[in-house]
Amino acid sequence: MAKPVSIEVWNPNGKYRVVSTKPMPGTRWINLLIEQDCRVEICTQKKTILSVEDIIALIGDKCDGVIGQLTEDWGETLFAALSRAGGKAFSNMAVGYNNVDVNAANKYGIAVGNTPGVLTETTAELAASLSLAAARRIVEADEFMRAGLYDGWLPNLFVGNLLKGQTVGVIGAGRIGSAYARMMVEGFKMNLIYYDLYQATRLEKFVTAYGQFLKANGEQPVTWKRASSMDEVLREADVISLHPVLDKTTYHLINKERLATMKKEAILVNCSRGPVIDEVALVEHLKQNPMFRVGLDVFEDEPYMKPGLSEMKNAIVVPHIASASKVI
């Protein structure tokens, strides 16, 4: 767009000009900025993903700060434009900041913010939902029902995987990975194996204590193991959920070779970032292994899916909705 066509302005006489590339929920954030003497401009353009050119037009000649979205490419070009406009701060409305070139921001003296911690439970809950939906074949069964194919109960109809007593694998046991692990261990009495660069001490203590509680109540205790490699998790776990940051160490962490090491009936869940999985290799693996199932919230070329993925009955796909929950 040559000029932003649709802008909502709050506090027009504010001293500092802050641009938000999207409308965001609520007004608390706007009021906080107004309290700091900011004029707040919100782009209300009906276009889901703004291009670099769109955002340069929004920044204009004078802009003190921008609040942007994970769908935008905040690299050298945008930080240079923001710096030319006198900008000093950029805030990414997301936990993940793989769309932000922090080195470029540093080069132009622009401070970068993100939103760590605010989406921990909601993302873990979606990962748990995808795990259950995949384990119990909920989407396939729903489609079958709506297609009018159900003509009576059968002993073998949509047999899925029982989670109790199986092993849940977590790759990236940070805030979200640990919250997910607790849900699966406590909710379904699964044993835990995890891989992270750092020890998840609190998570380990939680599983130990829960195991002791179960034992004291005459039940089989749950166990935990910190794997020495990611491959150990892939080999041993029945359900594997990916929660690392996306960077060059985690790009295509799950590839053809690694998929081949997983159990034939394993479940793989990804609520981190799409490029953590080589999606072309995944589609091929799903074709070859009909009882292998995936639950995906994120995609390698978001918003697109790699060819073939949408036809796979053993894939559950949702449009990046892990954060989309409200307190009611």
Ligand X SMILES: NC(=O)C1=CN([C@@H]2O[C@H](COP(=O)(O)OP(=O)(O)OC[C@H]3O[C@@H](n4cnc5c(N)ncnc54)[C@H](O)[C@@H]3O)[C@@H](O)[C@H]2O)C=CC1
Ligand Y SMILES: O=C(O)C(=O)CO
Active site members: 273, 302, 320
Binding residue for ligand Y, selected from 119, 168, 170, 181, defined by CB under 6 A:
119
Instruction: Select the binding partner of residue 171 from ligand Y, ligand X, none (C-beta < 5 to 8 A, by kind).
Output: ligand X
Which of the residues 66 through 95 are near ligand Y (CB under 6 A)?
Answer: 70, 94-95
Alpha carbon distances (Å) from 4 to 1, 47, 62, 186: 6, 11, 15, 50
Closest CB 49 distance from ligand X, rounded Å: 16
* CB 205, CB 95: distance < 8 Å: no
Binding residue for ligand X, selected from 77, 208, 255, 323, defined by CB under 6 A:
323
The smaller minimum CB distance to ligand Y, of residues 255 and 323, is found at: 323
The smaller minimum CB distance to ligand X, of residues 50 and 93, is found at: 93
The smaller minimum CB distance to ligand Y, of residues 243 and 263, is found at: 243
Residues 6 or more apart from 68 whose CB is under 8 A from it?
21, 55, 74, 90, 91, 92, 93
Per-residue x/- mask for ligand Y, residues 32 to 71, rule CB under 6 A?
--------------------------------------x-
Closest CB 137 distance from ligand Y, rounded Å: 26
* CB 17, CB 62: distance < 8 Å: yes
Q: Does 179 bind ligand Y (CB under 6 A)?
A: no
CB atoms within 10 A of CB 231: 14
Indicate the helix (H) or strand (E) that contains 94: none
State the first-to-last Cα distance of the chain, in angstroms, to the nearest integer: 38
Closest CB 225 distance from ligand X, rounded Å: 15
**Strand 239-242 and strand 111-113: pairing?**
unpaired
The smaller minimum CB distance to ligand X, of residues 245 and 317, is found at: 245
Nearest alpha carbon to residue 132 among 233, 254, 269: 269
The smaller minimum CB distance to ligand Y, of residues 175 and 320, is found at: 320
Closest CB 130 distance from ligand X, rounded Å: 10
Closest CB 172 distance from ligand Y, rounded Å: 13
Indicate the helix (H) or strand (E) that contains 207: helix 201-216
CB atoms within 10 A of CB 197: 9
Closest CB 118 distance from ligand X, rounded Å: 8
Residues 6 or more apart from 117 whose CB is under 8 A from it?
95, 175
Instruction: Select the binding partner of residue 174 from ligand Y, ligand X, none (C-beta < 5 to 8 A, by kind).
Output: ligand X
- Tokens at 94, concatenated: 């997301």
Per-residue x/- mask for ligand X, residues 79 to 118, rule CB under 6 A?
----------------xx-------------------x--
CA distance 72 to 153: 49
Across the strands, what pairs with 284? none
CA distance 207 to 182: 8
Q: Does 258 bind ligand X (CB under 6 A)?
A: no
Binding residue for ligand X, selected from 11, 69, 191, 250, defined by CB under 6 A:
250
* Interacting residues toward ligand Y by CB under 6 A: 70, 94-96, 119, 320, 322-323
Residues that bind ligand X (CB under 6 A): 95-96, 116, 119-120, 123, 171-177, 195-198, 243-246, 249-250, 271-273, 297-298, 320, 322-323
